[in-house]
Structure 1
Amino acid sequence: MARNKGKKKMGLTTMIFISLILGAVVGAIINTWFMDINVVKNVIVEGVFYVIGQGFISLMKMLVVPLVFFSIICGAAAIGDTKTLGSVGVRTIIFYLFTTMVAVAIALCMARLINPGIGLDMSAVENVSTTVSSSSTKTDMSIVDTILNIIPTNPVAALANGEMLQIIVFALMVGVILAKLKEKAQLVMNFCTQCNDIMMEMTMMIMKVAPIGVFCLIGRTFSELGFSAMVPMFKYMITVVAGLGVQCFVVYMILLKVFTGLNPFKFAKKFFPVQAFAFSTATSNATIPLNIDTLADKIGVSRKISSFTIPLGATINMDGTSIMQGVAVVFVAQAFGIHLSPADYMTVIVTATLASIGTAGVPSVGLITLAMVFDSVGLPVSGIGLIMGIDRILDMLRTAVNITGDAVCTTIVAKQNNALDVEVFNKV
Structure 2
Amino acid sequence: MSTPDTTDAPAAASTPTAAARRHLPAWLTGFGAQVIIGLIVGLILGFIARAQSSDAPDAAAPWLSTFLDKTGSIYVSLLKTMVPPLIITAVITSVANLRKVANAARLAVSTLLWFVITAFFSVLVGIAVGLVMKPGSGTSIDASTAAEPSHTGSWMGFIDSVVPTNFLGLGASANTDGEISVSFNVLQLLIISLALGIAAVKAGKSAEPFLAITESLLTVVQKVLWWIIRLAPIGTGALIGHAVADYGWDALGSLGKFVLAIYVGLAIVLLVIYPAVLASNGLSVTGFYRRVWPVTSLGFVTRSSMGVMPVTQRVTEQSMGVPSAYASFAVPLGATTKMDGCASVYPAVAALFVAQFYGLDLNFTDYLLIIFVSVIGSAATAGTTGATVMLTLTLSTLGLPLAGVGLLLAIEPIIDMGRTAVNVTGQALVATIVAKRAGIWEKDVWDAAGTHGLDLDSDADAADAADAADAAGAAEVTSGAVPADLASR
TM-score w.r.t. length of structure 2: 0.52
**In structure 2, C-alpha distance between the alignment counterparts of 1:67 and 1:383, rounded to whole Å:** 30
Whether contact under 8 Å (1:49, 1:219) holds in the other structure is yes
Residue of 218, 224, 239 corresponding to 1:217: 239
Residue 239 in structure 1 maps to residue 239 in structure 2:
no
Residue 4 in structure 1 maps to residue 34 in structure 2:
no
Residue 146 in structure 1 maps to residue 158 in structure 2:
yes
In the other structure, the counterpart of 2:406 is none
**In structure 1, C-alpha distance between the alignment counterparts of 2:206 and 2:263, rounded to whole Å:** 51
- What is the RMSD computed on CA atoms of the aligned residues? 5.1
Whether contact under 8 Å (2:126, 2:346) holds in the other structure is no
Residue 327 in structure 1 maps to residue 349 in structure 2:
no
Residue 35 in structure 1 maps to residue 57 in structure 2:
no
Structure number with the bigger relative contact order (C-alpha 8 A, sep ≥ 6) is 1
SS class of match (1:154): coil
Residue 51 in structure 1 maps to residue 70 in structure 2:
yes
Whether contact under 8 Å (2:68, 2:242) holds in the other structure is yes
TM-score w.r.t. length of structure 1: 0.58
Partner deviation per Cα, 1:48-107 (whole Å, 9 max, x = no partner)? 12211222222222122222222222223334443xx3xx44434422332233334444
Residue of 182, 201, 205 corresponding to 1:183: 205
Paired letter, 2:270 = V
Q: CA offset at residue 345 of structure 1?
A: 6.8
In the other structure, the counterpart of 2:484 is none
Q: 1:314 to 1:153 in 2, by over 3 A?
A: closer
Whether contact under 8 Å (1:92, 1:410) holds in the other structure is no
In the other structure, the counterpart of 2:167 is 155
**In structure 1, C-alpha distance between the alignment counterparts of 2:44 and 2:387, rounded to whole Å:** 33
Structure 2 segments unaligned to the other structure (5+ residues): 1-15, 137-148, 172-181, 293-314, 355-369, 391-408, 441-477, 482-489
Q: 1:343 to 1:78 in 2, by over 3 A?
A: farther
Paired letter, 1:245 = P
Whether contact under 8 Å (2:115, 2:430) holds in the other structure is no
Residue of 82, 91, 94 corresponding to 1:72: 91
Q: CA offset at residue 3 of structure 1?
A: 2.5
**In structure 1, C-alpha distance between the alignment counterparts of 2:53 and 2:21, rounded to whole Å:** 39
Q: CA offset at residue 284 of structure 1?
A: 4.0
Q: Which moved more, 1:200-209 or 1:106-115?
A: 106-115
Q: CA offset at residue 189 of structure 1?
A: 0.9
Q: 1:418 to 1:18 in 2, by over 3 A?
A: closer
Q: 1:281 to 1:164 in 2, by over 3 A?
A: closer
Bigger helix share:
1
Whether contact under 8 Å (1:56, 1:213) holds in the other structure is yes
Q: Report matched runs for 1:28-427 at 5 Å.
A: 28=47, 30-31=49-50, 35-37=54-56, 42-82=61-101, 85=102, 88-111=103-126, 114=129, 133=150, 135-136=151-152, 139=153, 141=154, 143-156=155-168, 158=170, 161-224=183-246, 225=248, 236-249=266-279, 268=282, 281-282=291-292, 283-286=315-318, 313-317=326-330, 325-328=339-342, 346=376, 348-349=378-379, 386=417, 402-410=431-439
In the other structure, the counterpart of 1:258 is none
In the other structure, the counterpart of 1:362 is none
Partner deviation per Cα, 1:279-324 (whole Å, 9 max, x = no partner)? 65554435788x9xxxxxxxxxxxxxxxxxx675555456998997
Q: 1:344 to 1:418 in 2, by over 3 A?
A: closer
Q: Which has the larger radius of gyration?
A: 2
**In structure 2, C-alpha distance between the alignment counterparts of 1:390 and 1:35, rounded to whole Å:** 29
Paired letter, 1:151 = V
> Size of the alignment, in residue pairs?
333
Q: 1:97 to 1:376 in 2, by over 3 A?
A: same
SS class of match (2:29): coil
Paired letter, 2:223 = E
Paired letter, 2:434 = G
Partner deviation per Cα, 1:324-373 (whole Å, 9 max, x = no partner)? 74315668889999x9x987874534788xxxxxxxxxxxxxxxxxxx68
